[in-house]
A and B are shown apart, each in its own frame.
Chain A
């Protein structure tokens, strides 16, 4: 059916939420407390719109669309209402922008630029509350910056069901807190930092490290486990350092992770900043070793389909026994995003029919003379005696090796992986050309 929003016809289904219709159609509607994956609370009052036939303005997050609905978001009345609600939100807000990590991605800043730009009328003291409170799990709370949208409290009560966060007090002394002596402690805690529309909840890990307007972003997939949560990799390259990855942010995917990431996955960006720092071997040295009998290759199950295919062809060309072993941890998985399989693409290993039997691998390893490890954790940290070892690695390797080749990690090498439910997803490299070659490039010189 059709409804009219600012004199433009918009298609939608009966009984959808008006705010969802607007967000899905990229119609700008300011809001704090509504979140597409948390639902509505109706407390911020920013999403007010005028509806023809209704005396008072209505909040879009509590309005269901009906046939012939006529909505206005730009009338003088609504513009004034937005300005006045924004003024009230900003009234007791501290002047923290210069040191607040949220600057550049802060809803208060954004809406002020759109609807504010007014003279301050404040001539009475601001309300004081707690600042830089360490809640645990890398989350820092600033109660003065908080607009009490309750996204964070609803997250811990309705989504993780761990109930650490709540509102204490009443009226203008109401503030978000954890109970005294307790802390924020669940595997998804850091999502509240992203959920928070202002700088009230910030990441201790990211604190004071980077202004967000210097960051570039690429669409990628977390490689922490087989769920394949969608992420943005935020990175930049500054003048005297190499490109640095500063954080992962969730990318919304209604089929897989909605707007959330687990903390383990979120912090797994750190490994992407590591790279092999020693001297690399030359590919002709490897070629010399390939004439040996009894060759074994182990490939990481987190590699992309393209990398796995390349390794498979290489192994076939040089008659190498190829295996890939899953990273299993029965204690890691839960009933939400985390899976027991910590590899990013084990489904891809299966699809390419790469042998994943541990017994067969152990047998082959016994007889092997040459072992080539394609970035698999097992052989990066386990010493192999009496064997000639070649490492293809994305980071530093602390076992002995004869030859070593550095390869680009998934931040610098686009590809495709298949998640635990069989969903095929592409991820893209950052825009800066890495000095480290990709695995496909390296092996390309050999086949």
Chain B
């Protein structure tokens, strides 16, 4: 079935579409809405965005591949992102990553990411984008089992 934005998102788009001097600027917000709606960015979603913003398809595709947070493949499992940058590494992010990979890699997709701006809560990870800080293996077990 060809992609279209659902009613909620269509309303959101209506609210923002006149706030930029050119339609082209809507590419990033539209990619986000498309990803949120379908859990990843579908090819036909990018085609829709290409037509909406009057930019070549390749341009939209090229922009989508530039940014780390955009997913162009359907995720099989829920995503856990573990921060691996300096402050987290100094506070034991390696141990957290190993714990996650050994215990939870069947149920979750474990990805390494760069500094998330949560250095005072190091080591940290996200679950479905939500920040989980001050982690210990025990705390991880608590949160993931509850979820």
On A, residues with C-beta under 8 Å from B are: 157, 162-170, 178-182
Given the known inter-chain contacts A157-B56, A180-B43, please indicate yes or no for A166 contacting B66, CB distance below 8 A.
Answer: no
Tell whether, in the assembled complex, residue A168 and residue B59 are in contact, meaning their CB atoms are under 8 Å apart.
Answer: no
- A-B residue pairs in contact (CB < 8 Å), sample of 12: A163-B57, A163-B58, A163-B59, A164-B56, A164-B58, A168-B61, A168-B62, A168-B66, A169-B65, A169-B66, A170-B65, A170-B66
**Interface readout for B36-50 with A: 1 if CB under 8 Å, 0 if not?**
000000010000000
Q: How far, in angstroms, from A169 to B70 measured CA to CA in the complex? A: 11
CB pair A179 B58 closer than 8 Å = yes
What is the CA–CA distance of A182 and B58 in the complex, to the nearest angstrom? 9
Residues of A within 8 A of B59 (CB): 157, 163, 166
Interchain nearest-CB distance for B69 vs A (Å)? 12
- Residues from chain B with a CB closer than 8 A to the CB of A157 are 56, 59
CB within 8 Å of A: which of B29-87?
Answer: 43, 55-59, 61-62, 65-66
A178 and B58 within 8 A (CB): yes
The distance in angstroms between the C-alpha atoms of A170 and B61, with both chains bound, is 13
Q: How far is the CA of A182 from the CA of B66 in the complex (A)?
A: 19
Query: CA–CA, A384 to B56, complex, Å?
Result: 51
Q: With the chains together, A304 CA to B43 CA distance in Å?
A: 52
Instruction: Tell me whether chain B's interface is mostly helix, strand or loop, or mixed.
Output: helix
CA distance A170 to B67 in the complex (A): 8
Q: Could you tell me the distance in whole angstroms from the C-beta of B145 to the nearest C-beta in chain A? A: 36
User: Please, how many angstroms separate the alpha-carbon atoms of A178 and B62 in the complex?
Assistant: 9
A168 to B43, CA, bound (A): 15
- For residue B57, give the distance in angstroms from its CB to the closest CB of chain A: 6
- A163 and B58 CA atoms in complex are apart in Å by 6
Residue in A157, A168, A180 whose Cβ sees the most chain B Cβ within 10 Å: A168
Contacts of B58 in A (CB 8 A): 163-166, 178-179, 182
Q: Known A157-B56, A162-B56, A163-B56; judge A179-B66 contact (CB<8 A).
A: no
Instruction: Closest B residue to A179 by CB, please name it.
Output: B61
Interface majority SS (helix, strand, loop, mixed), chain A: loop
Output the residue of B55, B56, B58, B66 with the most chain A CB within 10 A. Answer: B58
Question: Residue A167 contacts which of B55, B57, B62 (CB distance < 8 angstroms)?
Answer: B62
Number of interface residues of B (CB under 8 A): 10
Which residues of chain A come closer than 8 Å to B62, judged between CB atoms?
A: 166-168
Q: Which chain A residue has the least Cβ–Cβ distance from B65?
A: A168
The interface residues of chain B lying within 8 Å CB-to-CB of A162 are 56
CA distance A426 to B57 in the complex (A): 43
Per-residue interface assignment for chain B, residues 78 to 108, with 1 indicating a CB less than 8 Å from any chain A CB and 0 otherwise: 0000000000000000000000000000000
- Nearest CB on B from A40, distance (A): 20
Give the Cβ gap from A201 to chain B, nearest Cβ, in Å. Answer: 16
Chain A's closest residue to B60 (CB) is A179
With A163-B56, A166-B56, A168-B66 already in contact, 16 other A-B pairs whose C-beta atoms are closer than 8 Å: A157-B56, A163-B55, A163-B58, A165-B58, A166-B58, A166-B61, A166-B62, A167-B62, A168-B61, A168-B62, A169-B65, A178-B58, A179-B57, A180-B43, A182-B57, A182-B58
Nearest-CB distance from B55 to chain A (Å)? 8
A residues near B55, Cβ cutoff 8 Å: 163
Q: How far is the CA of A181 from the CA of B47 in the complex (A)?
A: 12
Closest A residue to B55 using CB positions? A163
Task: Give every chain B residue within 8 A of A182 (Cβ-Cβ).
Answer: 57-58
Instruction: Give the residue name and chain of the B residue nearest to A173 (CB).
Output: B65
Assembly CA distance A34 to B43 (angstroms) = 33
Residues of the B chain whose Cβ atoms lie less than 8 Å from the Cβ of A167:
62
Q: Name the A residues within 8 Å of B66 (CB-CB).
A: 168-170
B43 partner residues in chain A, CB cutoff 8 A: 180-181
State A178–B56 Cα separation when bound (angstroms).
11
Complex alpha-carbon distance, A87 and B90, angstroms: 35
B61: chain A residues at CB < 8 Å are 166, 168, 179-180
Would you give the shortest CB distance from A102 to chain B, in whole angstroms? Answer: 24
A180 vs B59: C-alpha distance in the bound complex, in angstroms? 13
Closest Cβ of chain B to A6, distance in Å, is 40
Which of A165, A166, A170 has most B Cβ within 10 Å? A166
Chain B nearest CB, measured from A445 CB (Å):
59
- A168 contacts which chain B residues (CB < 8 A)? 61-62, 65-66
- Kindly provide the distance from the CB of B112 to the nearest chain A CB, expressed in whole angstroms: 15
Top 10 nearest A-B pairs by Cβ distance? Answer: A163-B56, A166-B62, A168-B65, A166-B58, A179-B61, A179-B58, A163-B58, A170-B66, A169-B65, A179-B57
A204 CA to B66 CA in the complex, in Å?
30
B73 to nearest A CB, angstroms? 11
Q: Smallest distance from the beta carbon of B66 to chain A beta carbons, Å?
A: 5
Residue of A157, A163, A170 with most chain B CB atoms under a 10 A cut-off = A163
A180 — which chain B residues lie within 8 A by C-beta? Answer: 43, 61
Cα–Cα, bound, A167→B65 (Å): 9
CB-nearest residue of chain B relative to A176?
B62
Q: How close is A404's CB to chain B, nearest CB, in angstroms?
A: 51
**A174 CA to B28 CA, complexed, in Å:** 19
